[in-house]
Amino acid sequence: MSCFKKFSENTESSGKRYVTPAFPVFSVLPVLALVVLAFTQVATAQDVVILKSSTERKGKISGVEEEFLKLSLPAVEEALGSITISIPLDDIASMQCKSVKLPEASDSDTFISAQWRQWLPLLTVEGSPASRIGVEHTRRLLKQGKTDEALALFRKIEAEAWDAEGKLLAKSARLDAMIENGQIAEAQNEAKEFAKTSDDPATLIKSRYILATTASKALQKLVEDNPRFSEDPVVAREHTRLYNEALDNFLYAPVFYGAFEEDSARSLAGAIALYRFCGEDARALECARDIVKFHPTSPQAIEAAEFIKTLPEDLRAYDPEKIARGEDDDD
């Protein structure tokens, strides 16, 4: 690597004491087959709620109201109809949510806020989407300038969410927010400690990425506050330190865990952004080529390819690997 790298029994009453079929007998089987198929399709998209009594309830979660989860259950006796039951939140052990809508960028702040209020009581329940909804809601609070409220909520999600991924999302977003709030040194120290907390590759990669983005954002803020940083020896040394810290951590996943496709591509993209911010397009080009070559199916590959196209022709012709092999550019 060159860059330090998803029965009906439709029946109708005849008015007599017996029931007569509403369709010819020979058509019963096809109709039943269609009904069974419809129910099979519904079942494949069902949510599953496991109670503390080990009982399972399957259906579609329609919302959370006060202290109850609303679950729509298919009713076999009513063709494609359904009934809704209320399950006390305290009775729920875990769940598998397949139909619950996760937040999207196009969703309004009001909608996300309402979702969060519904799902907050289930933040600790395994399988709940509460942490993802909570992180998005909290990001919206930051955009509204409610920094203190957002930081407190991020910490709550980190402490109480059932899922490690949700905790990581919350921590990453909180550290970014701390930097934006001027708490740079505190954010950096916390990120460093976090990077030491696990030997698990997936957790370690994510923590190193958090550390990289923290240092990168701190570097950008330093330059914004000190546009002539190179003229001040103290500030210049801090610029160099942040640059090296960000780069070392961005390239950790590509160098040591390249098989983690998503993380490696994302980290290389972070390195590209860092290089470009510092005016080092040649090095950014190397990382962009690595993404296209080693992670061609990643979302970052499209952006990397587009970036390469924007570079001057003479820079695109630059190939350090070729030069290292002693080959002429014209060969």
**136-159 residues labelled b (16+ CB within 10 A) or e (exposed):** bbbbbbbeeeeeeebbebbeebbe
- Residues 322, 301 share a domain: yes
- Residues 90, 19 share a domain: yes
Range of the domain at 75: 15-95
- Residues 48, 1 share a domain: no
- Residues 75, 1 share a domain: no
Structure tokens given for 121:
């009581």
- Residues 309, 275 share a domain: yes
Predicted local confidence at residue 130, as pLDDT: 93
Residue 160 has pLDDT above 90, yes or no: yes
Report yes or no on 76 lying in a domain. Answer: yes
Q: What is the CATH number of the domain that holds 27?
A: 2.30.30
Residue 30 has pLDDT above 50, yes or no: no
- Of 36, 62, 95, the one marking the end of a domain is 95
272-329 confidence digits (pLDDT tens): 999 999 999 999 999 999 999 999 999 999 999 999 999 999 898 877 776 666 665 5
Report yes or no on 150 lying in a domain. Answer: no
Q: What is the mean pLDDT of the chain?
A: 82
Q: How many Cβ atoms from other residues are within 10 Å of residue 79's Cβ? A: 14
Report yes or no on 144 lying in a domain. Answer: no
- Residues 43, 1 share a domain: no
Report yes or no on 315 lying in a domain. Answer: yes
Report yes or no on 229 lying in a domain. Answer: no
Predicted local confidence at residue 312, as pLDDT: 92
- Of 65, 95, 125, the one marking the end of a domain is 95
How large is the greatest C-alpha to C-alpha distance in the chain, in angstroms?
A: 101
- Residues 91, 26 share a domain: yes
Phi first, then psi, for residue 133 (nearest 5°) are -65, -40
Q: Strands 19-21 and 47-51, how do they pair?
A: unpaired
- Residues 1, 40 share a domain: no
- Residues 41, 1 share a domain: no
- Of 95, 113, 147, the one marking the end of a domain is 95
Rounded-to-integer distance, Cα 208 and Cα 256, Å: 12
Distances (CA, A) of 17 to 10, 14, 190, 197: 16, 8, 78, 75
The model's pTM: 0.62
Number of domains in the chain: 2
228-283 confidence digits (pLDDT tens): 999 999 999 999 999 999 999 999 988 887 778 888 999 999 999 999 999 999 99
* DSSP single-letter state for residue 49: E
Report yes or no on 170 lying in a domain. Answer: no
